[in-house]
Structure formats: C-alpha cells, structure tokens
C-alpha cells in the first residue's frame, strides 16, 4: 500500500468517526501513533550505515515516513534528482523555487516522452516540497526527406 493510499484510508476512518464524538479521539490516536513511530525512526536512522541507508532511500515506503518525520538525510535537491532518476526519460532540472514549490524541467532524452503528471508522481514521495512542475518542451526537429515526384498535374 502506498503512502497516499494509507493517508486516504486514515482520512476515511476519521471521516467515519465525524459527528459521533469519537472524531477527536481518533485524531489524537493518529497523532500519538505518528509520534511513537517518529521517535522509533529517529533512533534507527543514525544507526544505519550510509550505504544501507542510501539504498533504502529509493524505496517510497522508507523515504515517505522519513520525510514525514523530518528525518530524511538528503536535501531537497538531492531528493529531486533521486526521483527524476527513476523516470524512463531523462530530464534536466532548470531550477527549483523553494518559495513557490515550482520545479522547472527540460527533456533531454529521446523517446515518446513523459508528461508533467509522470514527473509529479515520481516526485510525490521523494520531494513533497515540489508543488508544481513546468516541463519545457523539447525543440521540434525539422524532418528532412525526399519529396515525392511531381505528378503531371502539379507541374
């Protein structure tokens, strides 16, 4: 189950409690569990050897909770690069504005191309600071080929 799916299930459970008087108790339960797991992660992360932790950071099930508890060891730019490396097509970072959350990219690889939605999905777990993606279109190449022979009518 992804972090997004888990979040939705928790929200649905809290919504089901709404109006029953148990809503506040449910929210407190979620806060307490989050705090408990965060404390455990905070004790585990420093004990991991850097090569093992680095490999684990590619896994959204590890990276997401580390981000949630502000324990992720990489800065946002490294996390953006990690997310983009998972795409089938190469893109170049033109800039990231932390104030607005806008990430500007340009395609550098061939292929059919990925859209902003694909990029946003790759970034969702690794760099939630990115709130919008501007994907610059690659310049269109001029296709040069032979022209079909002129017909008698076209001459």
pLDDT (tens digit per residue) in 19-74:
777 888 888 888 899 999 999 999 999 999 999 999 999 888 898 899 989 999 99
Q: Rounded to whole angstroms, what are the CA distances from 9 to 12, 19, 27, 123?
A: 5, 18, 13, 21
Instruction: Please give the pLDDT value at position 74.
Output: 94
Positive or negative, the CA dihedral 65, 36, 4, 129 is: negative
3-state secondary structure of 5: helix
Does pTM top 0.75 for this prediction? Answer: no
Q: Rounded to whole angstroms, what are the CA distances from 21 to 15, 29, 104?
A: 11, 14, 46
């Amino acid at each position: 189950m992804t972090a997004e799916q888990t979040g939705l299930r928790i929200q649905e459970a809290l919504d089901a409690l709404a109006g029953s008087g148990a809503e506040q108790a449910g929210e407190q339960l979620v806060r307490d569990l989050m705090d408990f797991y965060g404390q455990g992660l905070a004790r585990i992360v420093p004990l991991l050897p850097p090569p093992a932790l680095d490999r684990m950071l590619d896994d959204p099930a590890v990276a997401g909770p580390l981000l949630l508890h502000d324990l992720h060891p990489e800065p946002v730019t490294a996390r953006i690069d990690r997310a983009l490396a998972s795409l089938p097509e190469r893109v170049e970072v033109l800039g990231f504005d932390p104030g607005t959350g806008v990430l500007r990219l340009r395609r550098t690889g061939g292929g059919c191309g990925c859209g902003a939605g694909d990029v946003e999905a790759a970034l969702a777990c690794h760099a939630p600071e990115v709130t919008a993606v501007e994907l610059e279109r690659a310049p269109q190449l001029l296709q040069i080929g032979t022209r079909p022979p002129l017909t008698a009518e076209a001459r």
